[in-house]
Amino acid sequence: MEDHADLARRIAFINLKNIGGGSEPDLSEIRSATEERRVELADKIRSFKPTRIFVAGDVAHAAFRTYLARQVGVGSVYVPHPSSRFSYQEYYRRCH
């Protein structure tokens, strides 16, 4: 079984906008930033050679699917954004 520390070292996080957001996601802002940075983001993601991509938040996942999925060529999975205020059970339910 793989060591958790080794696994954690191989996890990368990328902010599609490259800046933090507010309390509510702004669909047009996230889509615009992702579209503008799509070549840079795709190159960065491909350099990690991921086998699966987890995208936090439904707005970011929609932007990823629209602007990056084809260029990256790796399947993505939606997970709730860490700032969402779900109980552990609800968070787990939404991830599975």
The letter for the amino acid at 6 is D
CB 21 within 8 A of CB 28: no
Residues 6+ apart with CB under 8 A from 51: 74
pTM as predicted: 0.72
Question: Which residues, listed in sequence order, are joined to residue 56 by a DSSP beta bridge?
Answer: 79
The residue among 16, 80, 21 whose CA lies nearest residue 45 is: 16
**Domain range summary for the chain, segments of one domain joined by +:** 4-95
Has residue 1 got a pLDDT over 60? no
The letter for the amino acid at 94 is R
* Confidence band, pLDDT 50/70/90 cuts, at residue 16: confident
